[in-house]
Structure 1
Amino acid sequence: MDCSRQFFFSSLIVTFLLSLTVAQQQLLYYFCLDTSGSFTRSSTYEANLNRVLSSFSSNTANDYGFYNISSGQGSEGANAIALCRGDVNSGGCLDCINNAATELRNLCSNEKEAIIWYENCLLRYTNRSIFGVAETNPSFYMWNVNNVTDLDAFNQALIALMDNLSTNASSGTSLRKFATGSAEVTAAQTIYALVQCTPDLTRPACSSCLSQAIALLPSCCNSKQGGMVFGPSCNLRFDIKRFYNLATADAPLPPPSAPQSPPSPPSSKRTRGKMSNSYRTIIIITVPAAAFAVLLISSCIFFLRVKKSKAKAEKSLQYDFSTIRAATDDFSDTNKLGQGGFGTVYKGTIASGELIAVKRLTTDSGQGDLEFKNEVQLVTKLQHKNLVRLQGFCLEGNERLLIYEFVPNASLDQFLFDPVRRAYLDWERRQKIIGGIAQGLLYLHEDSRLQIIHCNLKASNILLDAELNPKISDFGMGRLCALDQTQSVTSRIEGTNGYMAPEYALHGQFSIKSDVFSFGVLLLEILCGQKNSAFCVGENVEDLLSYAWRIWKDGTALKLVDPILWEASRTQVMRCIHIGLLCVQENAAQRPNMASVVLMLTSDSVTVPLPSEPAFFVHSNTRKT
């Protein structure tokens, strides 16, 4: 077959595939929620739900793309909201909603509450009252894998643009709260953005919802050329290419270039959720026909380069033992930074002048070399601003070394529990530390590909960078050094008295709620500036959790707070004490997950439930690290 015939058939293939992408709606993500339980077949709720969803197919299209429909009353009534993106025409809007209704009933067969997002619309239903209510959970985000060149200039332009669009959208009418716009970063680069709220929200509610979505951008999309944040009541998106249609296009709009899409902090009530795998596929098959032949050749070259780069990257993770020994001056005591149950940490300087931290592990991990190497290669892929970055490893004989980025300000305990250095930790810095630890744990629990339970969260495992930003360390140690830690019950209990949840300390039962308990203890320590194991009230040594609970019940919880924080907002401090007590409740099921904790810390509008009695300090024969 000659080149002209090859090109002709290639063009036909691409044209056919392109027509499929226009006809299909793009599913992004969905959640089946157990908020209100489930329903049975032929129940009153199912009849009401079917009536609501079928009404979309008989609905007359409107020009603003918002529908709210109800059927029935009380717990058996069904309420649905549908919203189309503001630049989608009315016909395409109803097509998207009807497709979403069919798909969501298939995906969430018997949950009373569910939500689904397509690129052009969202649909949610529940037996709760949701009209006019701003909700931020469940939510998810997506980002473009390409990085910007001038991060400071890009962020400055992006923040200004988002703030402006948020104001414009929230000022909209009861029919539409939607805004698009652009901002120039450089002469050669422009940011395009879109924000939207369900128009049943009030102006303040829309503004608050968008503010919380914008606040997620540093966590999901910092340094990226594009990103999206989707929630039930509002959403936003930005990219360096214009993705919205100023003239309301008839066909679905393309997604941002080269996206990568992990789930963001979901609600604790999520039962099932899934993102469509076709998102990447659409980008591949919607290229112009004229470039098809070039694409095939380029793809082969690209994948060969990726394969070679991957092999090179994996090799570069492994350091020579002689290099690390020289960097640490043969692991001299003068370079010793600290010691814990998993090993000793040394400061090192490699030939390039870069500072590193080297953890020399104890030799009783029970792992083989290949197993250890594979574990390290997984953990090095975890990237979050509130995690200490693992750069590589070293294996030689019985030696197992982990190579970390060097964090200059040592650990939180060396500031928090030092009578002089504690003064540096004013309320603003302590708030930042609390929030950063919470974000790091949330990433480990719900956003990372490994879903790690830390099992040893404490002040000495929180490192502080040059700006006193917190970075969780040893987050992969449970996975690297104790293989049975991946189960729900372990006979090998590694932790520190006072930080361990009672179900873990006494019975070896652990879950993400074990880390939540440790976070609660750490939060209360940050507020009072004292160790939980040596908490003093006057001349008396008390149990921190017992004391916090007692004064909370007496209405004098502010007695707990470090006197250094006398200028702090009483409302904010009391909210933090409240959240800390929620985290240390004895019943693990009653403790919030980290998604809820982050939301309670960042949003004053979220109601914080009353805590029950905490699990008090437990003395045990577990190993102290």
Structure 2
Amino acid sequence: MLLSLSITAQAQPQYNRRICSNTTTFPKNSAYQANLNTLLFFLSSNATRSIGFHITSAGQNPNTVYGLFLCRGDYSPDVCKDCVSFATQLDLVRRCPVEKEALIWYDQCLVRYSNRSFFSTVDLKPTVCMWNVNNITDVGLFKNLLNTTMRDVAAEAASASSGTKKFAVKVVDFTGTQKLYNLVQCIPDLSKSDCNTCLQIAIQDCRIVVKEGEEEESCFRVAVFVMKRGNEISSLQFDLSTIETATKNFSDDNKLGQGRFGQVYKGTLPNGQEIAVKRLSRSSRQGAGEFKNEVLLLAKLQHRNLVKLIGFCLEGEEKIIVYEFVPNKSLDYFLFDPEKQGQLDWRRRWKIIEGIARGFLYLHEDSQPRIIHRDLKVNNILLDQDMNPKIANFGMARIFGVDQSQGNTSVIAGTYGYMPPEYALHGLFSVKSDIYSFGVLVLEIISGKKISSFNQTDSGDGLVSYVWTHWKNGTPMDVLDPILIDSYSRNEVLRCIQIGLLCVQRDPADRPTMAAVILMLDSCSATIPVPQPPAFFLHSTSGQSFTLKALDLESDQSASKSAPCSVNEASITELHPR
């Protein structure tokens, strides 16, 4: 848990993570829910305490609810109150609506509740992990400095008097341009011994994995952040001459490709860092507004499955965005090339599907602000040196507020085939628009077929129709890319086909959230619903308009059926994510 020590009050806290345990849930309008509402009210009412900590419970067994909040030690009581109030009154019920146990963690505070008492105990689970995305040039120096400073702050925090904040922070120089921020904190009702035990476990873990920070409820586990000085948006700006030198004056030999808004070049900065340079064409529809939108969005995003912004250039008529260089080009470069698609065996394709899902979960739920991409397609997925996916091209992305569920536009932009019907026909978009595009992409990855490889004469409606027809006919494995015949897992392929069809269902409300998608991908114990008929597009003969139709087929499968995770010829797993 960290960040810079320059702190200002804000009404809406910076969301980091949440854990909603799906092992136990409660029905709506139950006694447990009533007690939970009472507990959350108690926590919010006590958020003005100067210690920044409160524990309480509500109700009688077997429906007792236990809870606490803990605010970061270097924030003011007003910031603490705003954070706890936001969590208890708005955010928790949205993110964890029916779970009996939940933890939500912001930069300013954490709030936890459970159906079991966890007071005054060292609780090492669950754990939340976050990666430091900044480069560490001297790992040996970093480890030595980290061990020394963490021992100091741990001893200081654990030695705090009972009933006071068990909190300590230390800032030291790491390099000439970087500082190392260390912050640790235990809940005040832990003993000195228990607090020290928790923090020492964290420090030991940090010696093994220096790039990872973890947090638990009993102690704020590792609070380490390496940060460049001057991280304002202005510090990301490059002058045009630097970009021209890096790309050899935009040489054709350095050209990586061309997209809707311009060309992309490979470049090398004076320090040897390889970069990708997106140079917007002067005739591009992406004006200064979209350009700034992409820069500002990317500057705030930090996730291993998103392409990283290095900087930008806005000089004269030039609009340039500088990204990290991702060496293996885009997913379509491998997926649709007969000579290269063999490099994407089933294990890699599964890894790519899961990575894209995790990137979109971050965009939809965990980033601040929440973001809808609106242009997910196979050539906007880049692959790094280990073939890990990175989502790129945020020129069409839209910011969503916490309570906003849908937006609309009169300008339809994107790639037909990946667009859901409500967007292509009516300009309506939501997170479920990205879900639809994700479903199409999953079907492309499984089948190895482009959406553009189908036309109106190919049994009507393209890739989605092709997969749906095989699904209904009980021959879903016939859609599998033949090159995977020696590497695939039948259960995983069937699960992915089913998830893909769930994502392209006609009604946006029936499409799963990305959190549910990840649950279905990762959990063999979950159950998956039977997909309903998808929506399909048909180009009109004039090519100027679209009509929407759906297959009107009787289903011989009930959404209430379920089957084990092990799939055979006669059954396909049906999962019911929350």
Q: Check whether TM > 0.5.
A: yes
Task: Give the aligned residue type for 2:324.
Answer: E
Return the offset for 1:335.
2.2
Return the offset for 1:467.
1.5
- Of the three residues 411, 415, 431, the one matched with 1:512 is 431
Q: Which residue of 1 aligns with 2:506?
A: 586
- Of the three residues 116, 123, 131, the one matched with 2:113 is 123
- What is the root-mean-square deviation of aligned Cα atoms in Å? 4.9
Q: Which residue of 2 aligns with 1:191?
A: 205
Q: Give the 3 Å change call, closer, same or farther, for CA 405–192 of structure 1 in structure 2.
A: closer
Structure 1 portions without partners, runs of 5+: 1-27, 54-66, 72-77, 85-99, 127-138, 155-179, 194-220, 229-235, 238-252, 261-305
Task: Give the aligned residue type for 1:563.
Answer: P
1:444 aligns with 2:363: yes
Q: Which residue of 2 aligns with 1:226?
A: 213
Task: Give the aligned residue type for 1:604.
Answer: C
Task: Give the aligned residue type for 1:531.
Answer: K
Partner of 1:379: helix, strand, or coil?
Answer: helix
Task: Give the aligned residue type for 2:440.
Answer: V
Q: Which residue of 1 aligns with 2:551?
A: none
Structure 2 portions without partners, runs of 5+: 1-16, 40-56, 69-83, 117-125, 144-196, 547-578
Is the Cα contact below 8 Å between 1:497 and 1:618 reproduced in 2? Answer: no
Q: How many residues align?
A: 416
Return the offset for 1:333.
2.6
- Of the three residues 241, 266, 272, the one matched with 1:347 is 266
- Of the three residues 332, 335, 339, the one matched with 1:420 is 339
Paired with 2:544 and 2:198, the residues of 1 have a C-alpha distance of 62
Return the offset for 1:69.
8.8
Partner of 1:598: helix, strand, or coil?
Answer: helix
- Of the three residues 451, 462, 479, the one matched with 1:560 is 479
Q: Give the 3 Å change call, closer, same or farther, for CA 618–125 of structure 1 in structure 2.
A: farther
Q: Which residue of 2 aligns with 1:455?
A: 374
Partner of 2:429: helix, strand, or coil?
Answer: coil
Return the offset for 1:190.
2.1
Q: Which residue of 1 aligns with 2:576?
A: none
Q: Which residue of 1 aligns with 2:7?
A: none
Return the offset for 1:610.
1.0
User: Can you list the C-alpha shifts for 1:78-97, whole angstroms capped at 9, x where unaligned?
Assistant: 8456599xxxxxxxxxxxxx
Q: Give the 3 Å change call, closer, same or farther, for CA 318–506 of structure 1 in structure 2.
A: same
Partner of 1:337: helix, strand, or coil?
Answer: strand
1:232-251 aligned within 5 A: none
- Of the three residues 483, 489, 514, the one matched with 2:408 is 489
- Of the three residues 255, 261, 276, the one matched with 2:220 is 255
Return the offset for 1:106.
11
Task: Give the aligned residue type for 1:600.
Answer: M
Paired with 1:374 and 1:532, the residues of 2 have a C-alpha distance of 29
Is the Cα contact below 8 Å between 1:331 and 1:346 reproduced in 2? Answer: yes
Q: Which residue of 1 aligns with 2:321?
A: 402
Q: Which residue of 1 aligns with 2:497?
A: 577
Is the Cα contact below 8 Å between 1:104 and 1:116 reproduced in 2? Answer: no
Paired with 2:305 and 2:33, the residues of 1 have a C-alpha distance of 48
1:411 aligns with 2:401: no
Q: Give the 3 Å change call, closer, same or farther, for CA 388–503 of structure 1 in structure 2.
A: same
Partner of 2:533: helix, strand, or coil?
Answer: coil
User: Can you list the C-alpha shifts for 1:306-343, whole angstroms capped at 9, x where unaligned?
Assistant: 9x9326x5444111112212322322333222122122
Is the Cα contact below 8 Å between 2:502 and 2:512 reproduced in 1? Answer: yes
Is the Cα contact below 8 Å between 1:505 and 1:622 reproduced in 2? Answer: no
Paired with 1:468 and 1:350, the residues of 2 have a C-alpha distance of 24
Q: Give the 3 Å change call, closer, same or farther, for CA 396–37 of structure 1 in structure 2.
A: farther
Paired with 1:538 and 1:375, the residues of 2 have a C-alpha distance of 39
Q: Give the 3 Å change call, closer, same or farther, for CA 29–571 of structure 1 in structure 2.
A: closer
1:457-472 aligned within 5 A: 457-472=376-391
Return the offset for 1:486.
11
Q: Normalised by the size of structure 1, how large is the TM-score? A: 0.56
Task: Give the aligned residue type for 1:123.
Answer: Y
Is the Cα contact below 8 Å between 2:233 and 2:299 reproduced in 1? Answer: no
Partner of 1:191: helix, strand, or coil?
Answer: helix
Paired with 1:416 and 1:146, the residues of 2 have a C-alpha distance of 28
Question: Which region of structure 1 is more displaced relative to structure 2, 541-550 or 556-565?
Answer: 541-550
1:265-276 aligned within 5 A: none
Is the Cα contact below 8 Å between 1:525 and 1:531 reproduced in 2? Answer: yes
Partner of 1:466: helix, strand, or coil?
Answer: coil
Return the offset for 1:506.
1.0
Q: Normalised by the size of structure 2, how large is the TM-score? A: 0.60
Partner of 2:229: helix, strand, or coil?
Answer: helix
Q: Give the 3 Å change call, closer, same or farther, for CA 122–422 of structure 1 in structure 2.
A: same
Paired with 2:319 and 2:221, the residues of 1 have a C-alpha distance of 42
User: Can you list the C-alpha shifts for 1:230-278, whole angstroms capped at 9, x where unaligned?
Assistant: xxxxxx67xxxxxxxxxxxxxxx55335479xxxxxxxxxxxxxxxxxx
Return the offset for 1:150.
5.3
Q: Which residue of 2 aligns with 1:522?
A: 441
Q: Give the 3 Å change call, closer, same or farther, for CA 609–310 of structure 1 in structure 2.
A: same
Return the offset for 1:583.
0.5
Task: Give the aligned residue type for 1:255.
Answer: F
Relative contact order (C-alpha < 8 Å, sep 6+): which is higher?
A: 1
Looking at CA atoms only, which structure, 1 or 2, has the larger radius of gyration? 1
Q: Which residue of 2 aligns with 1:250?
A: none
Return the offset for 1:121.
9.7
Q: Which residue of 2 aligns with 1:92?
A: none
User: Can you list the C-alpha shifts for 1:192-251, whole angstroms capped at 9, x where unaligned?
Assistant: 89xxxxxxxxxxxxxxxxxxxxxxxxxxx97545313xxxxxxx67xxxxxxxxxxxxxx
Partner of 1:387: helix, strand, or coil?
Answer: coil
Paired with 1:51 and 1:601, the residues of 2 have a C-alpha distance of 32
Task: Give the aligned residue type for 1:310.
Answer: G
1:326 aligns with 2:245: yes
- Of the three residues 418, 422, 425, the one matched with 1:499 is 418
Structure holding more helix per residue: 1
